[in-house]
């Protein structure tokens, strides 16, 4: 079955489709789209049911509608099931001489309170409670002396059986706290949990409470409470005490009982009523409030936290006047001008409007600009309007007349909010409510930019103008007229960013214009002598960034000549060079600087370009003219340059020491910092060392080391160069590096004997060392015939003996001169002979011990008992042939064979298999044949099998020691074992 809401939605959609669509509107520039929504903001639909009598009161909550009628009946309807309404005769459950003054329905739509006032002095006020699931109302017993005029519902209550703590306001200004609960029995008696008075606003006078709202602050224990009377709005804030997760609101008023009456807003009024409404956001948090009074609606933003700094729980409070004019004369009857029509009887609050109900019409007023935006007049056929209410949960709006019920639908009420905020110059809020509509945003931006321009805030104005679609020439003229060059540059830059790359003409025009503006500013500052000022540096930096923009660079080849002419006309050589760099005219600029002998400028430009090819091109000229600065520039490039490509530049600059020292400095930097291994570089550096700095050459060779594979230079080339440049120490080192030991020692002897000794100690071959030392000895003895020096050689090198050097002495030297070293040599030989004799005696003793041990094993016997068992299978040993080891372990022959096979190498395992096969295949005659050893073939084969199988005990031999680190479970069986354990 279609619900009432579905019916209303369908009708609304039909109404929307029937609305004509206006022509697309144009904003301030190129935006073309429909700006206005022609769907009515407020629309009314009559409900398709008719009550049995005139309607007097209405309440709605959570899609549950309750109407009180003049015949003493209640009309209850679940709006989701419109065909299942019911009527309850409530009049028979109340005392006589009373009349229904109001009905109140909680936000859940479960608990209904009916307030009755006394008709005369004989009657007493009464409060009746009716639960949604029952049709028999019950009186709230303790309410007999109170005429309830308002109920403050607990919006946090989620219980169907109880109202939770609520506040009741009376006609005498009493504020009561209670909780009503439907009993668990079938009668639902409607008993109150407690009943207490928490505050008295009237203080003895009849001051009816017309509105109550209380809410918790941000899930804390603090609550704030709004109370209204016909002339006052009271505010309370305090901490509630929670029992069983339910608040006790009485404690909130403790601090107000002993203080003077403060914290209220008073508005004079002659009316006996007022209305209080809250608007809740999407999170059901109170956001705004409105208080209907005689002069107007007092409206404000709720901010309970502001009470920490003031006595008010709201901000931006203002009085909204009631509308007096109609908005459309063709659809509206003339307004009444009597006093009754000036003040609404009721109202509801939406986010941006207050919907006011008069006796014969409904009006909607904007809360932002107080303008009347909607008016709906009711015909006499429907009767007078009784009330207008809002469902606090579903947020639907219902208007009730004597005879009918209407629903108001609000569609996009925020549609014009952006325009209102824009008119109020609250542009940020205006943009928030544009819903990203580019046409609306453009209108707001234009208005904001115009306002800022009129105030002289040109920089802020141009930032916003740049976001609009205003005509280009219009904005430019604005800022040209007031001579705002910086603002104009900003605007041009923004428009340049917005242009498509295909707009070549517009891009070129803006680039030329902005270049002229930058050059004019820079030229003016130079003429004023402010070339070193921060302002000049900033403009120069901005200009350089501008020239580097992709769009500027892409169009530069079209306007390059024009830009060059502009810079030349302003005499701006600095930026002319900058532009040449941007256009990649590097060669011409550098050549020009070199031609002008501005070598440092050329090097500075090279360093900023990061173009290695230009270094290779201009290095010869720069090295010739400014070697130190050129090398500094080359070093600054680090590994980005290939040093070998710079060698031609270096080779042409070897005309003096100054140039060579700079070349060496660069080569050393490359070798030491980047571990360069290019042989050309190392050969060149070695050549320069050999020519100019021999100590540095020796240090270089020492760093390269003594390994032929590790050096980075050509050793043969280096040896030739060192010979040519007469560097004997280097020749010795290089000859040794090549393994030319005799030549190295001979050259070292020409330099220094200790150097020769160092070289002689280098070879690993002792025979080569001996020959080298003999060469040194021959040189020393032949030259000096110095016996002491010869003896020191014998001490330094134990490889040579006295008999080796005797031939080097002259014939005039007698044997007496060598008595001491000869005796010492003989003594050493004697000692060696004695050592050899001792070793031979030890070997003879060891052999004798071995022979004795072998003989003892031959005579050794072991007794085998009948009870002995095999160490492998634990069966009786004597059942089968067996092996008995000296360690006392014993095995059946087949058991030992099984145990030993996995431990054998593949070769021995194959040999064992072959021996077993021969033993089983050969015939008895063949096996009995005597071999060369004198034993039958059978015995020979068995001895060989015994050598393999019984060479050692499986438990005590080397195999057991080798298995100490062998895992119990092999890798092949691991997965299988793991599955078995699982």
Helix (H) or strand (E) holding 777: helix 766-784
SS3 484: coil
Beta-sheet pairing, 166-170 with 148-152: antiparallel
CB 776 within 8 A of CB 749: yes
Compute the distance between CA of residue 248 and CA of residue 676 in angstroms, rounded to an integer: 86
The model's pTM is: 0.56
Neighbouring C-alpha atoms within 13 Å toward the C-beta of 185: 4
What DSSP character marks residue 378?
Answer: P
Per domain, the residue ranges of the chain are 774-825, 877-981
SS3 870: coil
Q: Two tokens at 701? A: 């060779």
Burial (0-12, 13-18, 19+ Cβ within 10 Å), 845: exposed
Compute the distance between CA of residue 731 and CA of residue 738 in angstroms, rounded to an integer: 10
CB 348 within 8 A of CB 355: yes
Q: Two tokens at 154? A: 């607990």
For residue 374, list its beta bridge partners: 364
Q: Which of 92, 135, 137 is nearest to 114 (CA)?
A: 137
Compute the distance between CA of residue 281 and CA of residue 301 in angstroms, rounded to an integer: 12
How does DSSP assign 662-721, residue by residue?
HHHHHHHHHHHHH----HHHHHHHHHHHHHH-HHHHHHHHHHH-S-TTT--S-HHHHHHH
Q: What angle do CA 930, 935, 941 make, to 5 degrees?
A: 95
Please state at what angle helix 472-481 crosses helix 458-465, rounded to 10 degrees: 170
Mean pLDDT (10-residue bins), the chain, 982 residues: 46 37 38 60 88 92 95 92 88 89 95 92 87 90 88 93 94 93 54 84 88 91 93 92 89 82 83 94 92 94 69 83 64 45 90 94 93 92 92 95 93 89 89 87 91 90 88 88 88 87 87 90 89 89 86 82 81 75 72 76 80 84 86 84 84 79 85 82 83 82 78 83 81 76 74 71 69 68 60 61 56 56 67 82 85 73 84 87 85 88 85 86 83 83 86 82 77 81 75
* HEC per residue, 562-628: HHHHHHHHCCCHHHHHHHHHHCCCHHHHHHHHHHCCCHHHHHHHHHHHCCHHHHHHHHHHHHHHCHH
Number of other CB atoms surrounding residue 934 within 10 Å:
8
Q: Which of 730, 652, 642 is nearest to 686 (CA)?
A: 730
Residue 512: C-alpha distances to residues 509, 519, 520, 546, 552 (Å): 5, 11, 12, 11, 10
How does DSSP assign 22-85, residue by residue?
PPPEE-SSS-EE-----S-SEEEEE-S---SS-EEEEEEETTEEEEEETTSEEEEEETTSTT--
Compute the distance between CA of residue 35 and CA of residue 23 in angstroms, rounded to an integer: 9
> How high is the pLDDT of residue 362?
95
> How high is the pLDDT of residue 320?
92
> How high is the pLDDT of residue 307?
55
**Cα radius of gyration rounded to whole Å, the chain:** 58
Q: Two tokens at 268? A: 């004079």
How does DSSP assign 782-841, residue by residue?
HHH--HHHHHHHHHH-TTS-HHHHGGGS-TT--GGGGHHHHHHHHHHHHHHHHHHHHHHH
| Chain centroid to CA 870 | 74
Give the alpha-carbon dihedral of 91, 93, 99, 100, to 10 degrees. -80
Q: Which of 65, 30, 36 is nearest to 51 (CA)?
A: 65
């Amino acid at each position: 079955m279609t619900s009432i809401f579905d019916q209303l939605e369908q009708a609304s959609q039909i109404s929307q489709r029937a609305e004509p669509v206006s022509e697309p509107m144009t904003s301030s520039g190129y935006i073309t789209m429909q700006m206005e929504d022609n769907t009515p903001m407020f629309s009314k639909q009559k409900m398709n049911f008719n009550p049995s009598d005139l309607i007097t009161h209405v309440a709605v909550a959570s899609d549950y509608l309750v109407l009180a009628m003049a015949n003493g009946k209640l009309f209850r309807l679940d709006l989701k099931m419109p065909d299942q309404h019911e009527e309850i005769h409530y009049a028979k459950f109340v005392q006589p001489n009373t009349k229904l003054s109001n009905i109140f329905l909680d936000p859940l739509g479960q608990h209904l309170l009916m307030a009755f006032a006394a008709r005369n002095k004989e009657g007493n006020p009464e409060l009746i409670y009716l639960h949604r699931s029952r049709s028999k109302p019950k009186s709230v017993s303790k309410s007999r002396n109170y005429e309830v005029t308002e109920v403050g519902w607990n919006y946090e209550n989620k219980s169907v059986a109880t109202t939770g703590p609520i506040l009741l306001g009376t006609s005498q200004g009493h504020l009561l706290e209670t909780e009503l609960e439907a009993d668990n029995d079938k009668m639902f008696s409607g008993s109150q949990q407690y009943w207490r008075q928490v505050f008295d606003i009237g203080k003895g006078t009849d001051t009816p409470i017309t509105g109550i709202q209380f809410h918790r602050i941000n899930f804390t224990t603090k609550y704030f409470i709004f109370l209204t009377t016909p002339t006052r709005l009271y505010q309370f804030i305090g901490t509630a005490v929670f029992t069983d997760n339910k608040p006790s609101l009485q404690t909130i008023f403790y601090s107000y009982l002993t203080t003077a009456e403060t914290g209220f807003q008073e508005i004079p009024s002659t009316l006996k009523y007022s209305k209080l409404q809250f608007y809740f956001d999407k999170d059901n948090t109170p956001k705004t409030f409105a208080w209907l009074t005689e002069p107007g609606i007092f409206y404000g933003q709720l901010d309970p936290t502001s009470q920490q700094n003031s006595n008010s729980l709201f901000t931006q409070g203002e009085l909204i006047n009631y509308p007096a004019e109609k908005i459309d004369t063709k659809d509206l009857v003339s307004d009444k001008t009597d006093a009754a029509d000036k003040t609404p009887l009721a109202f509801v609050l939406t986010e941006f409007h207050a919907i006011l109900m008069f006796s014969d019409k409904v009006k909607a007023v904007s809360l932002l600009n107080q303008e009347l935006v909607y008016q709906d007049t009711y015909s006499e056929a429907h009767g007078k309007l009784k009330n207008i209410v809002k469902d606090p949960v579903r947020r639907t709006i219902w208007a009730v007349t004597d005879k009918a019920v209407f629903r108001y639908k609000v569609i996009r009420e925020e549609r014009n909010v952006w325009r209102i905020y824009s008119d109020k110059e609250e542009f940020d809020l205006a943009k928030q409510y544009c819903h990203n509509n580019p046409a609306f945003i453009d209108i707001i931006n234009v208005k904001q930019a115009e306002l800022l321009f009129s105030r002289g805030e040109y920089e802020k104005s141009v930032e916003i103008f740049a976001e609009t679609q205003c005509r280009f020439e219009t904005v430019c003229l604005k800022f040209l007229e007031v001579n705002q060059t910086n603002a104009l540059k900003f605007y041009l830059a923004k428009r340049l960013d917005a242009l498509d790359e295909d707009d070549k003409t517009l891009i070129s025009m803006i680039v030329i214009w902005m270049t002229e503006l930058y050059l004019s500013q820079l030229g003016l500052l130079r003429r004023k002598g402010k070339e070193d000022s921060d302002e000049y540096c900033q403009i120069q930096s901005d200009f350089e960034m501008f020239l580097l923009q992709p769009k500027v660079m892409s169009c530069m080849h079209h306007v390059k000549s024009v830009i060059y002419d502009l810079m030349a006309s302003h005499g701006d050589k600095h930026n002319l060079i900058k532009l040449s760099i941007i256009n990649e005219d590097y060669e011409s600029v550098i050549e020009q600087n070199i031609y002008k002998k501005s070598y440092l400028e050329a090097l500075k430009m090279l360093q900023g370009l990061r173009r290695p090819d230009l270094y290779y091109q201009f290095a010869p000229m720069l090295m010739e003219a400014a070697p130190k600065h050129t090398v500094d520039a080359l070093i600054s490039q680090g590994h980005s340059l290939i040093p070998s490509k710079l060698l031609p530049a270096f080779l042409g600059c070897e005309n003096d020491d100054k140039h060579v020292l700079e070349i060496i400095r660069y080569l050393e930097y490359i070798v030491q910092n980047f571990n360069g291994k290019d042989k050309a570089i190392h050969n060149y550096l070695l050549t320069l060392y050999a020519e100019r700095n021999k100590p540095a050459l020796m240090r270089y060779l020492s760093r390269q080391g003594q390994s032929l594979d590790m050096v980075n230079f050509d050793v043969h080339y280096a040896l030739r160069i060192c010979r040519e440049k007469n560097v004997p120490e280097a020749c010795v080192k290089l000859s040794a590096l090549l393994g030319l030991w005799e030549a190295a020692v001979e050259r070292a002897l020409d330099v220094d004997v200790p150097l020769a000794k160092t070289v002689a100690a280098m070879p690993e071959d002792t025979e080569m060392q001996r020959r080298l030392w003999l060469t040194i000895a021959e040189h020393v003895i032949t030259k000096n015939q110095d016996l002491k020096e010869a003896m020191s050689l014998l001490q330094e090198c134990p490889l040579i003996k006295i008999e080796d050097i005797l031939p080097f002495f002259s014939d005039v030297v007698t044997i007496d001169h060598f008595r001491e070293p000869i005796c010492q040599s003989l003594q050493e030989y004697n000692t060696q002979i004695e050592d050899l004799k001792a070793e031979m005696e030890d070997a003879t003793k060891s052999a004798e011990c071995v022979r004795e041990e072998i003989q003892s094993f031959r005579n050794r016997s072991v007794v085998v008992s009948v009870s002995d068992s095999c160490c492998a299978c634990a069966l009786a040993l004597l059942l089968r042939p067996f092996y008995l080891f000296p360690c006392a372990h014993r095995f059946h022959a087949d058991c030992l064979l099984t145990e030993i096979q996995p431990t054998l190498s593949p070769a021995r395992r194959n040999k064992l298999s072959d021996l077993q096969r021969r033993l089983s295949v050969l015939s008895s005659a063949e096996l009995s044949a005597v071999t060369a050893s004198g034993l039958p073939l059978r015995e020979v084969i068995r001895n060989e099998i015994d050598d393999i199988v019984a060479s050692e005990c499986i438990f005590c031999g080397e195999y057991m020691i080798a298995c100490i680190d062998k895992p119990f479970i092999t890798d092949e069986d691991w997965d299988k074992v793991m599955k078995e354990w699982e």
